[in-house]
A and B are shown apart, each in its own frame.
Chain A
Amino acid sequence: MTGRSGRTAKVRDLDDALAVVTDGCVLAVGGLWFHNAPSAAVRALVKRGVQNLELLTAPPSSFTTDLLVGAGCVRRAYLPHVSFEHLGLAPNVRRAVEAGSVELVECDEATLLGGLMATLEGLPEHPVLSLKGTDHLHSSPLARPGRLSDGTPALVPPALRPDVALLHAQQGDRFGNIRHWGAPFCDPVLAKAARHVIVTVDEIVDNALVRAEPHRTTLPSYLVDAVVEVPFGAHPCSSHGRYPHDEEHLAGYLADCARGELATYLARWVDGPAGPAEYVAAAGGTARLDALEEVVA
């Protein structure tokens, strides 16, 4: 390693890094839909039995949101859109919202990002002018009516500040410089808004590689508190540029949930494997996961 003498490494093991995610905290989860989701970290939280989370995600989310809600870890959630894309609805979110067991905060991308932008700007609120004509004006607490200084009516979502942001990227170095190979999407905003940032990466790379290509760094180390190497850590979601989502696994999850057997899924995939390596072995091993590229349409 070419790190300067005495520089502190931010590499942690998964459970150690996740110790900051305590019951009742405001947790932001990155990625979008089936992609770049910190699935291994979410499994570890479910296994530990974290509770009463206030969950905030990228505007579109999927598997990790549904797993956290299904496992009963979430008290309140900001979810503009959650689905399994072309595979269907998010079964546990749907059930929890219909049963009223999770408090769903209606919001959309503009108001959610407005709230996050306020935090980035160090302001108590960030006006948004683009939202009109929707029933969200009456049902979303983020669509709070207010005015600009010139009197123009505006919506003023209050600042949203996650306690912890949980992200997944393709590479990072041991000091916490992160490289997204694909779409970073909301991850940089979540990282800047959160008090504490944990990033799982498929691979820890040498600091010299980061320095050779500094324009490829998507999160500089000063934004990152802990980096955890978890090969295939996004599975069954994709890690852009490394492996696609595992549609067979996701369909299996949906089938288990449709039968009311989330517990079966949790026993096999969350509580069963001793850790991420055992999980990958159970999911068919690296040979199968490397070959997903050939089979997922």
Chain B
Amino acid sequence: MTVPPTTAELMVVTLARELRNGEVGMTGANSTVPVAACLLAQQLHAPDFTLILPSGVVNPAPGRLYRSASDGRWLAGAEAVGSAYDLFELSENGRLDVMFYGGVQIDRHGNINLTRTGPPGGPPAFRGPGLANISFAVVCRRIMLYSATHTPRTFVDRVDYLTAPGHLDGGDARRRAGITTEGPVFCITPLAAMGFTEPDRALTVRSIHPGVTPEHVQAATGFPLPEPPPWPHTPPPTTEELTTLREVVDTTGVLRAPAATRIPSGGASR
């Protein structure tokens, strides 16, 4: 009898399905879910997906997951080790297809705040970790958002500080700001899988996870969700997805450990 998937495992499998063969993706800090999703996608439908860790490690294959994004043990079996200069090159030459971001705040248009809360000017009410790779939100083709928490504090109407651009004011605001890439296309949380619908490009529920009610999702979101229920349920992992995840990607059960069901919030990305 297979143990049912944890919320973290469901998030990984659902995110992995969004990744495309041939893409080049990069992850940040607190990235257990995105890293696992990339490694799983490589094993299933996207063997030509390239994963770059924030330390510059390319295509790691350590046979397990490490909690620290830049742990030296990710090097075992990897294909290359780049440097900060390589990351600079990636950003200035727009070589990335997919970037993964979490946020202290994520707003209805997928803008990300990792910097500060409170009114502008003067010391912040709350100082976040900051974000190193802001430019990747501009130059990489698609952005995947993820959050370990789905609360009105995280999902806000408008970020207090716009660290990394999502769809800005919505519609074609990104293009008007001189940004030519797609921006956020997907967001995975412990409650739901979400996307961005035209023409407003506002965060919209695609599916809610098993056992979650529409009322819960709306109450946990700090702005009215545009397309009302009914919402379909997120398709559960297939046997192949779950078996591959557990036997090839996450062999030590990091995604099944109690700590992983409450993946640390907020401080995602470099």
Chain A residues with a Cβ under 8 A of chain B: 32-35, 58-60, 79-83, 85-90, 93-94, 97-100, 104, 106, 108-110, 113-114, 117, 128-136, 181-186, 188-189, 238-242, 244-245, 247, 297
Q: Which residues of B contact A182 (CB under 8 A)?
A: 55, 72, 75, 81
Q: Which residues of A contact B244 (CB under 8 A)?
A: none
**Bound complex: CA of A110 vs CA of B87, how far in Å?**
9
Q: Is B211 an interface residue (CB 8 A)?
A: no
On whether the beta carbons of A108 and B168 are closer than 8 Å, the reply is no
On whether the beta carbons of A86 and B127 are closer than 8 Å, the reply is no
On whether the beta carbons of B131 and A80 are closer than 8 Å, the reply is yes
On whether the beta carbons of B177 and A109 are closer than 8 Å, the reply is no
The residue that B179 contacts in the complex, of A35, A133, A188, with Cβ under 8 A, is: A133
Q: Is the interface of B mostly helix, strand, loop or mixed?
A: loop
On whether the beta carbons of A136 and B72 are closer than 8 Å, the reply is no
Given A81-B131, A99-B123: A133 and B84 interface contact (C-beta under 8 Å): no
- Smallest Cβ-Cβ distance to A79: which chain B residue: B130
**Bound complex: CA of A129 vs CA of B92, how far in Å?**
7
On whether the beta carbons of B132 and A80 are closer than 8 Å, the reply is yes
Q: Mark B54-72, 1 if CB is under 8 A from A, else 0.
A: 1111000000001111111
Q: Is B27 an interface residue (CB 8 A)?
A: no
Interface size class for chain B? 35 or more
Given A81-B29, A86-B67, A182-B72: A108 and B84 interface contact (C-beta under 8 Å): no
Given A80-B130, A108-B131, A109-B84: A183 and B123 interface contact (C-beta under 8 Å): no
Q: Which residues of A contact B179 (CB under 8 A)?
A: 132-133
Residue among A79, A108, A242 with max Cβ neighbours from chain B (10 Å): A108
**Bound complex: CA of A32 vs CA of B94, how far in Å?**
23
**Bound complex: CA of A114 vs CA of B56, how far in Å?**
18
A-B residue pairs, 10 tightest by C-beta:
A133-B165, A240-B72, A130-B135, A59-B132, A83-B129, A80-B132, A183-B55, A186-B84, A109-B132, A108-B134
Q: Which residues of B contact A186 (CB under 8 A)?
A: 83-84
Q: Is B50 an interface residue (CB 8 A)?
A: no
Given contact pairs A86-B68, A86-B264, A239-B72, enumerate 14 new A-B contacts (beta carbons under 8 Å).
Answer: A60-B270, A81-B131, A81-B132, A89-B267, A98-B127, A106-B130, A108-B135, A131-B135, A133-B162, A133-B168, A135-B115, A135-B161, A238-B72, A297-B257
Given A135-B163, A185-B56: A33 and B29 interface contact (C-beta under 8 Å): yes
Q: Shortest CB–CB separation between residue A102 and chain B, in angstroms? A: 10
Q: Shortest CB–CB separation between residue B45 and chain A, in angstroms? A: 28
Q: Which residues of A contact B165 (CB under 8 A)?
A: 132-134
Q: Is B139 an interface residue (CB 8 A)?
A: yes
On whether the beta carbons of B125 and A113 are closer than 8 Å, the reply is no
**Bound complex: CA of A32 vs CA of B68, how far in Å?**
11
The residue that A297 contacts in the complex, of B163, B254, B263, with Cβ under 8 A, is: B254
Q: Is B73 an interface residue (CB 8 A)?
A: yes
Q: Which residues of B contact A108 (CB under 8 A)?
A: 131-135
- Smallest Cβ-Cβ distance to A33: which chain B residue: B70
On whether the beta carbons of A85 and B92 are closer than 8 Å, the reply is no
Q: Which residues of B contact A58 (CB under 8 A)?
A: 84
Q: Which residues of B contact A240 (CB under 8 A)?
A: 72, 75
**Bound complex: CA of A183 vs CA of B57, how far in Å?**
7
The residue that B68 contacts in the complex, of A80, A85, A188, A241, with Cβ under 8 A, is: A85
Write 24 A-B pairs (CB below 8 A) sorted by A numbering: A34-B68, A60-B132, A79-B130, A81-B29, A82-B129, A87-B264, A89-B127, A94-B126, A108-B134, A110-B91, A110-B134, A128-B92, A128-B135, A131-B135, A134-B134, A134-B137, A135-B161, A135-B162, A136-B163, A183-B56, A183-B83, A185-B56, A188-B85, A244-B68
Q: Mark B150-184, 1 if CB is under 8 A from A, else 0.
A: 00000000000111110010000010011100000
Q: Is B226 an interface residue (CB 8 A)?
A: no
- Smallest Cβ-Cβ distance to A89: which chain B residue: B129
On whether the beta carbons of B84 and A131 are closer than 8 Å, the reply is no
Q: Is B32 an interface residue (CB 8 A)?
A: yes
Q: Which residues of A contact B29 (CB under 8 A)?
A: 33, 60, 81, 83, 85-86
- Smallest Cβ-Cβ distance to A59: which chain B residue: B132
Q: Which residues of B contact A114 (CB under 8 A)?
A: 88
Q: Which residues of B contact A184 (CB under 8 A)?
A: 81, 83
**Bound complex: CA of A134 vs CA of B85, how far in Å?**
22
On whether the beta carbons of A245 and B68 are closer than 8 Å, the reply is yes
**Bound complex: CA of A184 vs CA of B55, how far in Å?**
8
**Bound complex: CA of A236 vs CA of B165, how far in Å?**
35
- Smallest Cβ-Cβ distance to A61: which chain B residue: B132
Residue among B83, B91, B128, B132 with max Cβ neighbours from chain A (10 Å): B132
On whether the beta carbons of A185 and B68 are closer than 8 Å, the reply is no
Q: Is B210 an interface residue (CB 8 A)?
A: no
Q: Shortest CB–CB separation between residue A275 and chain B, in angstroms? A: 26
Q: Is B138 an interface residue (CB 8 A)?
A: yes
Q: Which residues of B contact A241 (CB under 8 A)?
A: 72, 75
- Smallest Cβ-Cβ distance to A185: which chain B residue: B84
**Bound complex: CA of A191 vs CA of B161, how far in Å?**
33
**Bound complex: CA of A297 vs CA of B254, how far in Å?**
8
